[in-house]
Amino acid sequence: MEEFALDSGNTAWIITASSLVLLMTPGLAFFYGGMVRGKSVLNMMMMSFSSIGVAGLIWVLYGYSLTFGSDIGGIIGNPADYFGLAITDADSLMFAAGVPATVAAAFQATFAIITVALISGAIADRVKFGTWLVFAALWVTLVYSPVAHMVWGGGLLGADGPVATALSVPIDFAGGTVVHINAGVAGLVLALVIGKRKGFGTEAMRPHNLPFVMLGAALLWFGWFGFNAGSEFAADGTAGRAWLNTLVATGVAMLAWMATEKLRDGAPTTLGAASGVVAGLVAITPAAAAVDSFGAIAIGAVAGILCALAVSLKFKFGFDDSLDVVGVHLVGGLVGTVLLGFFATGEADAVASYGVWYPEGALNGLFYGGGFTQLITQIVAALVAVIFSAVVTAIIAFALKFTLGWRISEEAEVSGIDLAVHGETAYENSGSTITEVR
């Protein structure tokens, strides 16, 4: 068997990229925190921060092994293989790139963390913190790890799975199905099971701090360069392609969202710009290095417009997806995953194709002479992720509903979840006296 050969350049980049991706979760805390009302900003931020604790712990204990351990039925990895991250470089996920197993496991940990945190936006202002922590643990175990295994760990949606055999290899460069469709579906299911906030649709619930939202979008965009360019697993031209596409698709999506608002509402808003940024980031994620510049621009434009329109659906259908996890992450994830069926392009020699690359066994999209096969493959992969995530998330959500319970009391919700659940307030600074020190 081939010896592991350390590549210090690639390794340095993946350690850096891992740190960038981890920063996305605190960034998300600001992005979401600014969008809720002032009385619940701390709880919103805590749902993101606590995801780092819960998902990080599980990942180190058995989550990595569940995802990348030896395949069981195409659905899940063996949790005993690498329990406690007992893993050697011979089994490194990034063996070919010369990146050690520990570094590869660190990079993947940050993906599990951000995916759980994304869901929290759908259920703002109203859930018990303890139930959220238990949900996060169960969801990483029963939904994230299996879906990541199916796509990246050699399961159903991988290069050797039945979809690849029957059609072609599904393309998910950095996590359109695993992260965004998965989190978006879970958010929708939770919003439906947990129910609306008191006053949804009738009381004003406008964002309390738009500069926080912009700050969060900035941190997310910055971290996302690690997410997408790091997913190349190497410091090379394809990572550069992913970086460039993450720049241009995101910028175009921001412009497209603002243009949609200008035409529909009369003004391009900062909330719209920040939302467009995230919609573009989500949509380019699966396609990051698998499309050329023009494909990236098209994906950004479609994502910006469709997501801007999709965030109104919750009012039409009456589900309280508070911060539009469905409208931005599910719709954006579907846009990127499905549009790959039109715009995917790549060559075995990535240098000859300006860094554009997709896995062996995938095909060009419809607009690049590849016919309909890859489009059908992408739709099938998206549907598998949607169905698996919906079913298992629903089981977890109902199990928690009838055991721990999801909702805080109506009184606590009205007076503010920060005080009721965390015993603090973000902005009430006057009129306090110290009564006891411990």
Partner 1 sequence: MKLVTGVIQPHRLDDVKTALEGAGVRGMTVSEASGYGRQKGHTEVYRGAEYTVDLVPKVRIEVLVTDADVTAVTDAIVGAAQTGKIGDGKVWVVTVDDVARVRTGEHGDSAL
Please report, as ranges, the residues that interact with partner 1 according to CB under 8 A.
Answer: 204, 206-207, 261, 264-267, 269, 271-272, 275, 308, 311-312, 315, 324, 327
Nearer to partner 1, 269 or 293 (CB): 269
| Cβ 324 to partner 1 shortest distance, Å | 6
Nearer to partner 1, 206 or 438 (CB): 206
Find where tokens 């499905």 sit.
338
The least CB distance from residue 120 to partner 1, in Å, is 17
CB of 411 to partner 1, least distance (A): 25
The candidate with the shortest Cα–Cα distance to 46, out of 123, 104, 129, is: 129
Residue 244 token pair: 């460039």
Q: Element (H or E) spanning 267, and its range?
A: none
Longest CA pairwise span in the chain (Å):
74
Q: How far is the CB of 206 from partner 1 (least distance, A)?
A: 5
CA 102 from centre of chain: 22
User: CB 186 → partner 1: shortest distance, Å?
Assistant: 20
| Amino acid present at 143 | V
Q: Which two tokens stand for residue 198?
A: 């008191």
Contact predicate 178/111, CB 8 Å: yes
Supply the minimum distance, in Å, between the C-beta of residue 360 and partner 1. Answer: 41
- Least distance from partner 1 to the Cβ atom of residue 185, Å: 20
User: Helices 210-230 & 101-119, crossing angle to 10 degrees?
Assistant: 150
DSSP codes joined into one string, 304-359: HHHHHHHTTHHHHHT---TT-HIIIIIHHHHHHHHHHHHH----SSTTTTTT----
Do the beta carbons of residue 155 and residue 75 sit within 8 Å? yes
Residue 360 DSSP code: B
The Cα–Cα gap between 121 and 134 comes to 17
Give whichever of 210 and 380 is closer to partner 1, judged by the CB atom: 210
C-alpha–C-alpha distance, residues 137 and 299, integer Å: 33
Supply the minimum distance, in Å, between the C-beta of residue 271 and partner 1: 6
49 or 315: CB nearest partner 1: 315
Whole-number Å distance between alpha carbons of 125 and 44: 7
